[in-house]
């Protein structure tokens, strides 16, 4: 894959390298009544310098978006806060960003990464859940997720974002077959409708979204629909226009390669990749 092709894709999925790019795209997303979830790209840090830079950028981002009177969430990766360096250090960093965001009235998501750090990620989340304003991602490719949802939804203030999962793991811990991952998504979604109060259905899968809309007629929960920028913008705009709560994941930053490879892998077959490349982004997003 040449660098040029990667850049064409990353332009579709990523706001651009700077905070100014994130602000510009966040404004555009918000003009469709969709709340942006802004993520500063970067992961798997093994030195503190990168972690500390990340924290400074998140704080600057919060100040800048607030100054622009934008409604937005942020989403953090444990491995960009130092979980691979030291768990205590990561926990202190997470709390520092959460406290800063909370004072500004900003909701903070925790992304879920590799299966080896799921326990650490859930422990981070549980530490801050009592004070509100935080949410966590749970992945349906992991066999443990039903248990994780049970333990999280018992807690006051629990907010879960359900995804299929952008990583892979051995068959002892994960479903590797796409149909099984989807089947588990349906099971976990039903569990959320039955036991959760507030959650996000984060997928581009139209069948899952239709099912969620039907379930919500019965359960009447506080449900938000979320998509990644640049995959099915027009569909999310349609959901927003029909009065549903919607959010769009908006990454920005220089470190676009890992994120773009995950999206390319998901596009799956060549026709989707070519279609993504040739179609203009929906309604200018």
Ligand X SMILES: Cc1cc2nc3c(=O)[nH]c(=O)nc-3n(C[C@H](O)[C@H](O)[C@H](O)COP(=O)(O)OP(=O)(O)OC[C@H]3O[C@@H](n4cnc5c(N)ncnc54)[C@H](O)[C@@H]3O)c2cc1C
Query: Closest separation between CB of residue 9 and ligand X, Å?
Result: 9
Query: By C-alpha distance, which of 96, 119, 122, 100 is closest to 110?
Result: 122
Q: Is 20 in the site for ligand X (CB under 6 A)?
A: no
The residue among 79 and 93 lying less far from ligand X, judged by its C-beta, is 79
Among 162, 192, 227, 236, which residue interacts with ligand X (rule: CB under 6 A)? 227
The residue among 23 and 227 lying less far from ligand X, judged by its C-beta, is 227
- Euclidean distance between CA atoms 91 and 82, whole angstroms: 8
Among 272, 274, 279, 283, which residue interacts with ligand X (rule: CB under 6 A)? 272
Query: Closest separation between CB of residue 18 and ligand X, Å?
Result: 22
Query: By C-alpha distance, which of 111, 92, 106 is closest to 44?
Result: 111
Q: Is 225 in the site for ligand X (CB under 6 A)?
A: no
The residue among 125 and 249 lying less far from ligand X, judged by its C-beta, is 249
Backbone angles phi, psi at 37, to 5 degrees: -110, 105
Please give the structure tokens belonging to residue 168.
């892979």
Span near ligand X by CB under 6 A; candidates 42-50, 66-74, 126-134, 222-230: 222-230
Among 89, 100, 167, 235, which residue interacts with ligand X (rule: CB under 6 A)? 167
Long-range contacts of 55-62 (CB under 8 A, 24+ apart): 55/81, 55/93, 55/96, 55/97, 57/19, 57/253, 58/97, 58/100, 58/101, 59/97, 59/100, 60/19, 61/19, 61/22, 62/100, 62/101, 62/104, 62/106
Backbone angles phi, psi at 164, to 5 degrees: -80, -35
Q: Is 274 in the site for ligand X (CB under 6 A)?
A: no
The structure tokens 């949410």 sit at 135
Q: Is 263 in the site for ligand X (CB under 6 A)?
A: yes
Site for ligand X in 107-166 (CB under 6 A): 111-112, 137, 139, 163-166
Span near ligand X by CB under 6 A; candidates 80-88, 98-106, 190-198, 265-273: 265-273
Mutual orientation of helices 145-153 and 178-195 as an angle, nearest 10°?
Answer: 20
Residues that bind ligand X (CB under 6 A): 111-112, 137, 139, 163-167, 202-205, 226-228, 231, 249, 263, 266-267, 272, 276
């Amino acid at each position: 894959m040449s660098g040029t092709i990667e850049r064409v894709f990353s332009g579709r999925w990523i706001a651009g390298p700077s905070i100014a790019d994130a602000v510009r795209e966040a404004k555009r997303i918000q003009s469709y009544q969709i709340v942006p979830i802004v993520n500063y790209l970067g992961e798997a840090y093994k030195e503190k310098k990168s972690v500390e830079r990340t924290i400074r950028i998140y704080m600057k981002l919060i100040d800048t978006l607030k100054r622009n009177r934008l409604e937005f969430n942020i989403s953090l990766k444990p491995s960009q806060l130092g979980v691979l360096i030291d768990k205590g250090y990561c926990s202190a960093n997470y709390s520092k960003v959460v406290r800063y965001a909370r004072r500004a009235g900003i909701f903070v998501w925790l992304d879920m990464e590799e299966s080896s750090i799921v326990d650490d990620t859930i422990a981070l989340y549980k530490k801050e859940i009592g004070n509100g304003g935080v949410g966590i991602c749970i992945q349906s490719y992991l066999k443990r997720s039903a248990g994780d949802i049970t333990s999280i939804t018992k807690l006051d203030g629990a907010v879960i974002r359900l995804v299929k999962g952008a990583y892979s793991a051995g068959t002892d811990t994960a479903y590797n077959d796409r149909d099984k991952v989807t089947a588990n998504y349906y099971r976990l979604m039903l569990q959320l409708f039955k036991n959760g109060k507030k959650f996000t259905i984060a997928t581009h899968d139209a069948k899952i979204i239709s099912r969620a809309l039907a379930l919500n007629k019965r359960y009447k929960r506080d449900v938000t629909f979320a998509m990644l920028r640049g995959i099915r913008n027009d569909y999310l705009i349609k959901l927003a226009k029909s009065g549903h709560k919607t959010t769009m994941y908006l990454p920005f930053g220089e470190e676009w390669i890992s994120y773009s490879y995950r999206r390319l892998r998901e596009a799956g077959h060549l026709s989707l990749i070519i279609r993504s490349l040739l179609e203009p982004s929906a309604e200018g997003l």
